[in-house]
Amino acid sequence: MTFRFQLHHTDAETGARRGTFTTPHGPVETPGFMPVGTQGTVKGLTIDHVASTGAHMILGNTYHLGLRPGHQTVRALGGLHAMSGWEGPILTDSGGFQVFSLKGINKISEHSVVFRSHIDGALIDLTPEHSIEIQESLGSDVAMVLDHVVALPAERGEVQQAMERSIRWAKRCLEYASRDDQAKFAIVQGGLDVDLRVQCARELAAMDFEGYAVGGLSVGETPDEMYRITAATTPELPAEKPRYLMGVGRPIDLLESVVRGIDLFDCVMPTRNGRNGFAFTDSGPIKIRNAKHKTDTSPLDESCDCLTCTRHSRGYLRHLFIAGEMLGPTLLSLHNLTYYQKVMRGAREAIQENRLAEFIATKKSQWGIT
């Protein structure tokens, strides 16, 4: 079997899951975090950097790669794996989130979403079928279906219409797909309405997808609202398939969502924050530009074994940012991704030993979260 999700253990107290998702390009240990490589690169990092963080799987963006360099060019270069040099699994999103965020320059119909390229203004007609066609050209291990994303807050009628369209589009994606070596993941929509989420999850679960995602969150709602919807959605999804919470989030959001049954995550936060001088550590967040770090010879995080922490001081890192050197964002991005993998690795070990609640309590104390 090309794809398989093996559930190794369920935490006795929280119900969190420890598993392995097997793909043509290798296994993904879960719960796991995927660095975001929007345009075929995790910004500022080489593929060897990304591998050194402990990441098993990375994410590529269908919208951006479909526009530039174009999916036919990626295919001519051997696919996204060959083009980028990443040898592990890759997940590509459908482009839906990016397209529907282009407010005022897209037109949505049952057939497709029509929008203008942000690069050259060309008119693009993105159907569910074309989204899959692009992703099959990219050659990712996992292709996400095209869904209709609604900005929150929104009227219930609008959310319901988008949710129902997402179900119909998911079916079209599944029927069009032709690659046996590419898994298809459906995306549950429904805004902050539990009934709509449950309906969507149940209808999608009746289709033969290799995995399921919870989408349309981390778009401005409170963390508690996100946790509420996640907790209501995951029980409706097949236990034998991986569950992916899209675009999330802070380390505490990952852990709180693992408790609620999520297996996979992605987010630009560790790299975006790293490029802006913000580091995640076991002693809480660090803003490296702050003057108090000017002559600090200590590492960014004494408990971290990444290149940034084993070779460089806080004082040096601050100097790089103040001087505008490109190495600064690279080193903090490298550290943040390593830290996210460390948190996920700790969660996996804690689940296996039935102590996830204790692990989370310790992390919250370290991060100063009450």
Annotated binding-site residue? 121: no
Annotated binding-site residue? 359: no
Annotated binding-site residue? 189: yes
CA atoms within 13 A on the CB side of 334: 25
Site of tokens 């601050």: 318
Please tell me the distance from the alpha carbon of residue 105 to that of residue 220, in angstroms, as a whole number. Answer: 21
Please tell me the distance from the alpha carbon of residue 5 to that of residue 184, in angstroms, as a whole number. Answer: 13
Annotated binding-site residue? 147: yes
Annotated binding-site residue? 93: yes
Annotated binding-site residue? 267: no
Annotated binding-site residue? 309: yes
Report how far Cα 263 is from the mean position of its chain's Cα atoms: 11
Annotated binding-site residue? 306: yes
Annotated binding-site residue? 341: no
Annotated binding-site residue? 95: yes
Site of tokens 């940034």: 308
Neighbours of 103 (CB within 10 A): 7
Neighbours of 303 (CB within 10 A): 12
Q: Which of 141, 253, 266, 301 is catalytic?
A: 266
CB 15 within 8 A of CB 261: yes
The torsion angles phi and psi of 19, rounded to 5 degrees, stand at: -145, -175
Is there a catalytic annotation at residue 120?
no
Annotated binding-site residue? 315: no
Q: Which of 93, 141, 263, 301 is catalytic?
A: 93
Distances (CA, A) of 80 to 49, 210, 244, 295: 18, 21, 21, 43
Q: CA triplet 228, 232, 236: central angle to 5 degrees?
A: 160
Annotated binding-site residue? 39: no
Is there a catalytic annotation at residue 195?
no
Residues comprising the binding site for Zn(2+)? 304, 306, 309, 335
Active site residues: 93, 266
Residues comprising the binding site? 93-97, 147, 189, 216, 304, 306, 309, 335
Residues comprising the binding site for substrate? 93-97, 147, 189, 216
